[in-house]
Structure 1
Amino acid sequence: MNSKFKNRIREQFGRTASAYVEATHFSGGEDLEEAAKLLKPSHDDNMLDVACGGGHMALFFAPMVRQVVASDLTMQMLKKAQEHIAEEGRVDNVVFREADAEDLPFPAGSFTLLTCRIAPHHFPDVPKALREFHRVLRRGGRMAIIDTLMPADPEIAEFFQTMEKMRNPTHIKAFNEEQWREMIQDSELILQEIQIISKTHDFQEWTKTAGLNRAKVQELNKFFMDAPQKIHDYFQIESFAGEVESYTDKKLLIYATRKEKEKHIHQKTAPEVLDEIDKPSDATKD
């Protein structure tokens, strides 16, 4: 997809930046806690948070690491994230950088940790982004990606894809577990662990973060309510008097690493080194 689509992303998230900062379903959750357990951050770590949104992940990890670079495609979102973190007053080690996930403006091997939360389904080219993640990670670096899991059932997957686009037209595609495994492998990252975590969304807050007007909210509400029973069961849709109150989807937490530096299998002994020194070079051979 071209730059025109990325400008649509900037417009969409610039318009809704404040709502993302205020959204409670981003400010905490089991996914953050589990990511920290897997990554084991330390004060030696230099961390990159890609597509940082309202800055919640950067804020969560900042006390645990040396520095966090919070990056996002949308400058307005970065400004709101910076204001949010400054108002919290608890950390001073977060810096902000405008950056495209598919073309990160950082030298190779810049970071020991990398995170990306609830964003890849907006990326036009996820494999390209993963290659960039691999490039900017130092050897032995650790990475955690959290994103919405595409349901395996085709009918449920179609409902999910439609409702996500109804809510936010910059949604491109979520992936199932097998697709993620393949993409991680192709990027030469080493998959260490995958976890699936349920996440319950307050329907009104969920629509607010996308900046939907009343008519669009009602349209989306009807789409949920008119869905077949198996859709209601899968998403655990809770409603009252015809109004959706909440639904639950599944998030995929991927923990992967970049390959460690190659270690020499054979360590030469002192006699072997001396033998090589005593051998005549090609230039002196008859």
Structure 2
Amino acid sequence: MEIKQRVREQFGATAESYVRSRSHAFGHDLGRLLEWASVRPGELALDVATGGGHTGLALARHGARVILLDLTPEMLEAARRNAVERGIAPAGFIAADAEALPLVDRCVSLLTCRIAPHHFADPAAFVREVARVLAPGGRFLLIDSLSSADHELDELVNELERRRDTSHVRSYTLAEWCGFLAAAGLRVERVEVIYRRHEWEDWTVRSGMSEAARDALARWLLAQDRLCRFLDVEFDRGSIRSFRDDKVLILASSPKLRPQAVPQPEG
């Protein structure tokens, strides 16, 4: 099945659970993103793969005019209901592909994307689109799952994610993200690794897994000793209670336009 169709099916069926997810609605990573964003009142911002709308609505509360964009129509409708419940009126809602943003060049000064690109078919194409729509000097804030630079652990982390959610494509390393950004002409300004923990039951239930599928995933993980140590798996009476999930927060910027030289009068 084509990747984008898997994403639409996965998140169309689980949209409301992501709106209600505390780890998406709150969390230290969202607070740090808002700090780094330094929102300017009235500026036009775009939140790509908005999911339940939590990041975009937070930017709106800080004064930005925010467009919420998502590939999945059901998810976008859930974000719209979330906005109504919170009494926030975003600048707009767009159902569209992150790798083909339907916006003109250099139109937004702030672009965010939080905990989503591991579902993208072509993250390099997405970053090129970010560079295209950002105004000179614009800011791009990315948060996503961070994979290990160790090849074996990288493979195991991504296998765990795919077993839990077939719409998962890949979590990338920091070096890979820096490569995507540099190739698109964006400059990395700040990087921070944020250590989070997932409650196992919440993490597996939220993705729509059946009880039998959750049990099978737990058995698979418990058989991966090195991965369990890397994820710092915690147990409760022999069952998985929680595990570590590293996220990376990156602030990148679009180059500012160089001032044109003023012609000097001939003398």
**Matched-pair contact (CA < 8 Å) for 1:225–1:242:** no
- Correspondent of 2:251 among 234, 237, 255: 255
Note the residue ranges of structure 2 that are not aligned, 5 or more in a row.
none
Rg larger in structure: 1
* Structure 2 equivalent of residue 29 of structure 1: 27
CA drift of 1:108 comes to 0.8
* Structure 2 equivalent of residue 158 of structure 1: 155
- Correspondent of 2:82 among 81, 84, 93: 84
- Correspondent of 1:204 among 201, 204, 211: 201
Within 2, Cα distance between the matches of 1:161 and 1:63?
Answer: 34
Residues 117-164 of structure 1 show CA distances to partners (whole Å, capped at 9, x for unaligned) of 111111111111101011111111101010111112223222211110
Residues 158-178 of structure 1 show CA distances to partners (whole Å, capped at 9, x for unaligned) of 221111000111111111111
**Does structure 1 residue 55 correspond to structure 2 residue 53?**
yes
CA drift of 1:57 comes to 0.5
Residues 240-279 of structure 1 show CA distances to partners (whole Å, capped at 9, x for unaligned) of 1222111111101110011101123x544xxx4144xxxx
**Does structure 1 residue 273 correspond to structure 2 residue 265?**
yes
Within 2, Cα distance between the matches of 1:256 and 1:55?
Answer: 22
Q: State the SS of the aligned residue for 2:265.
A: helix
| Matched pairs, number | 267
**Matched-pair contact (CA < 8 Å) for 2:110–2:134:** yes
**Does structure 1 residue 10 correspond to structure 2 residue 8?**
yes
Q: State the SS of the aligned residue for 2:259.
A: coil
* Structure 2 equivalent of residue 244 of structure 1: 240
Within 2, Cα distance between the matches of 1:79 and 1:113?
Answer: 23
Alignment RMSD: 1.5
Residues 196-225 of structure 1 show CA distances to partners (whole Å, capped at 9, x for unaligned) of 000111111111221101111101111222
* Structure 1 equivalent of residue 90 of structure 2: 93
For 1:24-173, list aligned pairs within 5 A.
24-89=22-87, 91-173=88-170
Within 2, Cα distance between the matches of 1:5 and 1:197?
Answer: 28
**Matched-pair contact (CA < 8 Å) for 1:58–1:94:** no
CA drift of 1:192 comes to 0.7
Note the residue ranges of structure 1 that are not aligned, 5 or more in a row.
276-286
**Matched-pair contact (CA < 8 Å) for 1:109–1:135:** yes
State the identity as a percent.
Answer: 33
Report the AA paired with residue 54 of structure 1. Answer: G
TM-score (norm 2): 0.95
**Matched-pair contact (CA < 8 Å) for 2:157–2:227:** no
